[in-house]
Structure 1
Amino acid sequence: MTVNGIKAPFPRAILFDLDGTLIDSAPDITAAVNELLATRQLAPLTVPRVTTMIGNGVPKLVERAFAAAGMPLIGRALEEATRDMAPIYNRHLTYLTRLMPGTRETLAHFHMSGMAMGVVSNKPQVASREILLHFGLTDALGAIVGGDAVSQKKPAPDALLLALERLRIDVENALMVGDSAADVGAARAAGMPVVLVRGGYTQVPVEELGADLICDSLGDLPLALRALRDAA
């Protein structure tokens, strides 16, 4: 496989981001944020506004939400709000969340072809697994790593490396698929190629994030990888 002119092996494992890549969770996350803000008598935020806050874990989400609502929190106040968010967040996982276009078909394609797959997310581990169970996707996944399963969230490489360890695949034979700068940063830190899918939660155009390959939708990934393999 060749990506950006660099020779790389056709992957034996694909690691997928969750929010904005496999699922559209912004409406549920917004509902959780607004329930938390209401406990402090703060006005609700819109889905587009909260979408800009997604991608770096729940603590950062809470920090950004309170800042946007006009009550910036630091220190103990932020810690307390983050603790309060945990049960609220877990009540808003699958009611409004939907699969991104092509998710089910793409995972089924790679699963049938024998590809090892995992999910690496900054979302908490239990929440990530519950969502994937809800959509019936766990059978195709050999590893699910949430942000609280590692010491450092993406863009650090920790979650990717742990997922590959569980899949028993070397980093040289793996590919990361995501939608944001955090995914690119994590892949680069781990030493693997990265594909970005349009339509996710990045606030920076995907063309500016330095991915090896960009797909218009997740459903385009199988053909894109096949073309790269054939051209190698």
Structure 2
Amino acid sequence: MNELPGEGRRPDAVLFDLDGTLIDSLPDLADALDDLLGLEGHARLGEARVRPMIGHGVEKLVQRGFAAHGIALDGAPLAAMADRFRAIYEPRATRLTRLYPHVEDAVRALAASGMPMAVCTNKPTAVSREILADFGLADIFPVVVGGDFGPPRKPAPDLVLVTAQLLGVHPANCLFVGDSPADVGAARAAGMPVIVVGYGYTAIAPADLGADRVIADFRDLGVARPGAGRAAE
């Protein structure tokens, strides 16, 4: 990666979303949500219906899952159900989850080039670290900022700004790589250039998310100019 989108220079750091960007966690998330719904006497939703529910944190995922059955959850009942979801999901968070193709090679090449990197996700911090460790990437991402870190979650800019601060890099000199409207919204609000992958968890076409560039997969992270590289598939 040689340049910031539109600015003709290499970023000083790269921030990555986790679910839908680095990892395909849909099978484990959907399975855990369906198990929770089943315990409450509701039918399973399946991966296709759960896919667009991902990206705004555990509470929102659980809330959307129950809303699909016409059940409104909020406040303390939602918090309790989210805790039950975590108890189901976290012990098996990498049972079916996989890194997306070319992710490991790309981030290791960036690390070898001296690029500071971090993960900024709405997923809880501890399980995010555990997932990265399970895939042998803990050394690549010493900074992991999750949705339980304290500040408001994406699409608010706060988590992104905190992550840049922990890396010691001005937000405008970072690059964010994500997959969703929340990622683009957070990066834009933080004043950070943003790339989206073409395969993530969004009901909106990646080309319509308003990012500087859409990439088909992580091999295109080495392409410097916005709009360059292979077309998203």
Q: What TM-score do you get using the length of structure 2 for normalisation?
A: 0.91
What CA distance in whole angstroms lies between the structure 2 residues aligned with 1:83 and 1:142? 26
The residue aligned with 1:62 is 62
The residue aligned with 2:133 is 133
Letter in 2 for 1:81: M
1:184 aligns with 2:188: no
What CA distance in whole angstroms lies between the structure 2 residues aligned with 1:38 and 1:112? 46
SS at match of 1:176: strand
Gaps of 5+ in 1: none
| Contact 1:31–1:92 under 8 Å retained in 2 | no
The residue aligned with 1:220 is 220
What CA distance in whole angstroms lies between the structure 2 residues aligned with 1:172 and 1:111? 20
Which has a greater percent of helix?
Answer: 1
What CA distance in whole angstroms lies between the structure 1 residues aligned with 2:61 and 2:92? 14
| Contact 2:160–2:186 under 8 Å retained in 1 | yes
Aligned 1:1-232 pairs, distance under 5 A? 1=3, 3=5, 6-7=6-7, 9-222=9-222, 224-225=223-224, 227=225
| Contact 1:142–1:167 under 8 Å retained in 2 | no
What CA distance in whole angstroms lies between the structure 1 residues aligned with 2:12 and 2:110? 10
SS at match of 2:114: coil
SS at match of 1:10: coil
Instruction: Give how far 1:2 is off.
Output: 6.2
| Contact 2:4–2:11 under 8 Å retained in 1 | no
| Contact 1:116–1:142 under 8 Å retained in 2 | no
Instruction: Give how far 1:161 is off.
Output: 1.4
Comparing 78-87 with 203-212, greater Cα deviation is found at: 78-87
SS at match of 1:138: coil
- Report Cα offsets for 1:208-232 as digits up to 9, x if no partner: 111011111122111x12x56xxxx
| Contact 1:155–1:182 under 8 Å retained in 2 | yes
| Contact 2:27–2:96 under 8 Å retained in 1 | yes
| Contact 1:142–1:166 under 8 Å retained in 2 | no
| Contact 1:9–1:172 under 8 Å retained in 2 | no
Superposed CA RMSD: 1.5
What CA distance in whole angstroms lies between the structure 1 residues aligned with 2:79 and 2:109? 42
Length, aligned pairs only: 224
Instruction: Give how far 1:205 is off.
Output: 0.4
Instruction: Give how far 1:8 is off.
Output: 5.8
Comparing 190-199 with 163-172, greater Cα deviation is found at: 163-172
What CA distance in whole angstroms lies between the structure 2 residues aligned with 1:163 and 1:8? 23
| Contact 1:34–1:45 under 8 Å retained in 2 | yes
Gaps of 5+ in 2: 227-233
| Contact 2:31–2:46 under 8 Å retained in 1 | no
What CA distance in whole angstroms lies between the structure 2 residues aligned with 1:199 and 1:193? 19
SS at match of 1:219: helix
- Identity among equivalent pairs (%): 46
| Contact 1:45–1:69 under 8 Å retained in 2 | no
| Contact 2:155–2:186 under 8 Å retained in 1 | yes
Letter in 2 for 1:153: R
What CA distance in whole angstroms lies between the structure 1 residues aligned with 2:84 and 2:116? 36
SS at match of 2:56: coil
Q: What TM-score do you get using the length of structure 1 for normalisation?
A: 0.92
What CA distance in whole angstroms lies between the structure 1 residues aligned with 2:110 and 2:87? 34
